[in-house]
Chain A
Amino acid sequence: GDSVTQMEGPVTLSEEAFLTINCTYTATGYPSLFWYVQYPGEGLQLLLKATKADDKGSNKGFEATYRKETTSFHLEKGSVQVSDSAVYFCALISMNYGGSQGNLIFGKGTKLSVKP
């Protein structure tokens, strides 16, 4: 079935470092791809999305490009801040499994800690 694989955490970086969190997916067809973020004590918030190949989603300095050839959607940020410390989830909407209803399939999440 459809699935999402993220790099294992935790990831610890110094402020202003470059961030990459890898995400690859397995899906039939062309799923929509998402990054969600969960700050401590809060729910899941949509960070960015891409709905077709070569689309680039961006928000708050984060970017991810939908790469069909490598089935990837890696999250990047050029200069992280302490306030970016959170858990990041890669997800897709499976077009086979209730795609019309928009059910999300998530990766395991990657915890990011940014030190001052």
Chain B
Amino acid sequence: AQSVTQLGSHVSVSEGALVLLRCNYSSSVPPYLFWYVQYPNQGLQLLLKYTTGATLVKGINGFEAEFKKSETSFHLTKPSAHMSDAAEYFCAVSDTGGFKTIFGAGTRLFVKA
């Protein structure tokens, strides 16, 4: 069975500082990995995803993530945080079977001025 663990339910950074949100997954088959962002009172939207190919994936708003199979990780980073990045971030995993995506518990990102 697949699962996702996000380390840290809350992360706080200063504006301009590095953002690092951690995600580890468990999957018996090659996984597809996603990061979604949820702004207050909105639905989720895709930041980036890894399917195959290059392990460093770039997404919207300057975010990127690296798939590391040996570490079963897919951490999300952004070099310089902006106030508008404050939101809930979800890591997710699915497989080729489709129809079912497993989401992590989410990490709330706070950005201090």
On whether the two chains bind one another, the answer is: no
Binding site for B on A (CB under 8 A): none
Binding site for A on B (CB under 8 A): none
